[in-house]
Amino acid sequence: MIFNLLKKETLTELKFLDYDGSSLYSNCLVYQNDKKVQIHLLPVIHIGDLEYYASLLDYIHDRICIYEKMNLTPSDVSMEKSAKSLNEYLEIVSPSVEDFWQQYNELLKKFYKKFLTREVKSLCKKVKKQSKNFDDKIKAIYDGCIKTGFGIQNLYPVQLYLCESMNLSHQMIAIDYIYDIPRRSNWIHTDLDVGSVTKNVDLNELVEEMLTEPSPEILNMLMKQIALLLINVLGMLDFKKIQEITKRRELLANGLIHFLSDQFGEIKDTTPEYLLEGRNSMVQDQILNLIRNHQEILVFYGVAHMSAIEKFILEHGFNFKYRQRFKAFDIEER
């Protein structure tokens, strides 16, 4: 997610989000085809109240559920995801971050010097200029970005920082993806799994190749990824400048609305393909697989994915039936 300071907007309605100036809502849209097969598109906002995630779980209940959870490292990362705070997360991942930096720091320094585009260098200068405004947590997150080659996993601590700045929870904390969800037979994991993809790959060789002789496609992906993380670092500073929790929540709500409307086309073009289109394709294939044997399925994925998935199911003979609204959070803190 990318956040910018925006003027307050009220009474804003999108298909999968509602914002009335007082609360932000996500909308589950239900579709049906002529064979009475139903698909529930249940979008999730990654930052919200604990009650919000409980209501989503209640709605899913025993429905067949396609769900997201990116596994971004080949090792067991369950301890990272079981952290209940940003400080705990940073403490847990610190050894692996330092190990990666110790092994690849010279290659990373050469990569940053040789391959960064003009646009990314400009963002780097902007972040460096603002570094005097970093607090300890932002500094730790930014250092983690640099030391891991701006791996996309660094978006998670950014989101945790925003959660804590607004006294809200995070999807990965509120829902137990380590012990509970994997035991639910109706939940079908459909997302990136680096461990599976790289099972028979020499990871050291792969990393060295990406940092020394990246293909044009890999280089383009890495530049988009670095730019995305740098913009999110600046976004944390936007939140830090605002003292009132109410104003921070307004910023988040307006930022999400802007992201999914005016800004979405631009952001889609500047986001690594695997984060949006690649994962959308996985969901679409899974939908076609599951509707062969099930009369009702549910897609539980980030709100940014839903428009493309909706377009796909409409093209496959499904029509809108009804919607149900879920409150993600109130602007005023309770």
Mean pLDDT of the chain: 90
- Judge contact between 48 and 129, C-beta under 8 A: no
- Pick the more confident residue, 283 or 179: 283
- The share of the chain scoring above pLDDT 70, in percent, equals 91
* Partners of 298 in the β-ladder: 40, 65
- Tell me the pLDDT tens digit for each residue of 69-115: 988 665 444 445 578 899 999 999 999 999 999 999 999 999 999 99
Using the CB atoms, write b or e for 63-74: b if 16+ within 10 Å: bbbbbbbbbbbe
- Tell me the pLDDT tens digit for each residue of 40-65: 999 999 999 999 999 999 999 999 99
Closest of 31, 52, 51 to residue 40, by C-alpha: 31
Residue 24 CA to residue 47 CA, distance in Å, equals: 11
Residue type, 59: Y
User: Is the C-alpha dihedral spanning 48, 160, 181, 284 positive or negative?
Assistant: positive
Give the distance from CA 112 to its chain's centroid: 25
The DSSP output letter for 298 is E
pLDDT at 308 (0 to 100): 93
Q: How confident is the model at residue 3 (pLDDT cuts 50, 70, 90)?
A: very low
Helices 216-241, 155-166: crossing angle, 10 deg rounding: 10
- Mean pLDDT of the 274-281 span: 92
